[in-house]
Structure 1
C-alpha cells in the first residue's frame, strides 16, 4: 500500500495535519491540560493530526518533539465515541510515527492519559503496529461528590476521642517545622503537604491531629469553579490500619461538597489498597476513569505502510 496523502478521504473521513488555527476545532477532544498546546502547534516542536467525519471532530493525536535532542513523544491519542473500530486510531498513530521519522527520531514514545475504556483497543493497535504493550502507570478518577449519599458506609465514619480535623490554614509555625523535619523519616517527599505549596488551597485542605500532634493531611487544589483536585493524602503508618486516612478523606469531601460537587484524584498503579478502595467503596461516585499509559517503539530502520 502506498503512503497516504497528507489529507485523505475514506468515505466521509478526513485526516489532516493540524495548524494552530485548524486545531481549535478539536478542543472538545483534548485533555484540559493540553488545550494551550493547540495554540502552539507549529509542525515541529508541537504537532498534531486531526480526523473529522462530516466536518465534525472525530479524533486527534498530539505530540511534542525536541529534535535537537532526538526525542519525541505522543502525548494524546483520542478517538471520539461512535468513531472507534473504524481504523481511525491506527491512521492517526501512523501519521504520528511518520512525523517522528521525518524528524529523525529513532525511538518513539507514547505517554499520556486515555479513557479507561479505550485501553483495550489502543493496546491492540499499539501491539499490531510494533509498539510495546502499553503499561498503566497512574489512574485518574473524576468524582461526583453529590453521589456520596449512595455510599451508605460513609455515614458510619467517625473519629474517636483524641482525633480532630482542622483547616490547613490553621497549621501553626511549630507544627509546620515539625512536619518539615519529618520529611524522609515518617513520610516520603512525594507526600509532602508543602510540595507546590503555591498551588493548593489552604481553606479547603484539611489536617488531622491526634492528641494535639499533626499526623495526617488531605491537600487539595482548586482546578475550576466547581472542581477540586485531591492532590495528597497521608496519615502516619500506625494509624492507617484504623481507617483514619479514609475518614479524613471522606470528611474533607463532605465538607467541601456544597461548593465543589466534583473532585479529581490520581492513584499510582502499584497502590493496590487505594485502587480497591476507589472501585469498591467509591464506585457510585466515579464519573470518569482515565489511565496514564506509557509505551515505546523503535523507529529507525522501520517504515510502516500498514495502516488500514
Structure 2
C-alpha cells in the first residue's frame, strides 16, 4: 500500500521518482480502511533529507501509512525555512491530544551536549511521557535513542576519544526477536557517533533486551517492551552517500576526521560507496510496522489504555 503524505511535501517528488506509490489526500479518504498513523518528530537539521529517508522505509510496507511531521515548540531550528516548518510540520503541543500507532524520534546535532543543556530537553521529556498514553510503539534513532534511555532508565552517554564512523558489521544478539525477523547473521550498519551508550549500563537497567551489537562499534539496538520503546543507536535509514557527505563536509571545515571504516571501496573517497545495508533498513522498518499493526487497537482512542 502507498504512504499518505502532504501533496506538496518536497519528499513526495523524491519518492515518486524512485517508483514509490504515494497516495494523495483525496485518494486516501476514499479507501474504507484505517491507515496506520505514524508521527515523526524530526530533530535533524536537514529535515527534507530525513523526511525522505524515513518515508521511503515506512512507505514500502503492505499497509497504508499516514505520516504526520512533528516539531518541538520550545525550540525553532534556524537552518530550515519557516515556510517549510509552518506548511508541513505541527508543533507537538498541537498533536499531543491525538493518538498514534507509531512514533519516531530522530537524532539531533546535540550529541556532545549534556542532555539538560539541550534547549528542548524538558519538552522532549514530556513527549516521552506522552508516548506512554498516546502511542503504541516508539522508535528512537541515534541521539533520540540515547535521550530515551536517559529519560526512562537514567542511562548516560559517554564521549568517545574519536568519532565512531563507518559501516560496521553487527550481529543479532537475539535472532528470534520480532524486530529482527529475516536478518542475516552479519548486518552492515552505518554508524556516525561522537558518544557511546555502554552495553553493561543498558543491561543493568530493568526491562531492556539487547537486540543488535558490534564488536567494534558496541551497542546498536535494544528494546523496552513494557514501555513500547525501541532504541536504535545507528542508521539503517541512511542513504548510500550520507557518510560521504559528512566526511567531505568535515574535511572542508578543517575538522580532524578519519575515513569512515568499511565504507569506500579500497578506502578511496573518490570512489562511490555501495549501499550494503538497504535491505536490512527496509526489513527493520517492515518488522516494526508489522509489530505495531498487530499490537495497536483498531479504535485509536483505546491506545494507551
Q: Above 0.5 in TM-score? A: no
- Could you say which structure has the greater relative contact order, defined with CA pairs below 8 angstroms and 6 or more residues apart? 1
Q: Which has the larger radius of gyration?
A: 1
Structure 1-normalised TM-score?
0.27
Structure 2-normalised TM-score?
0.27
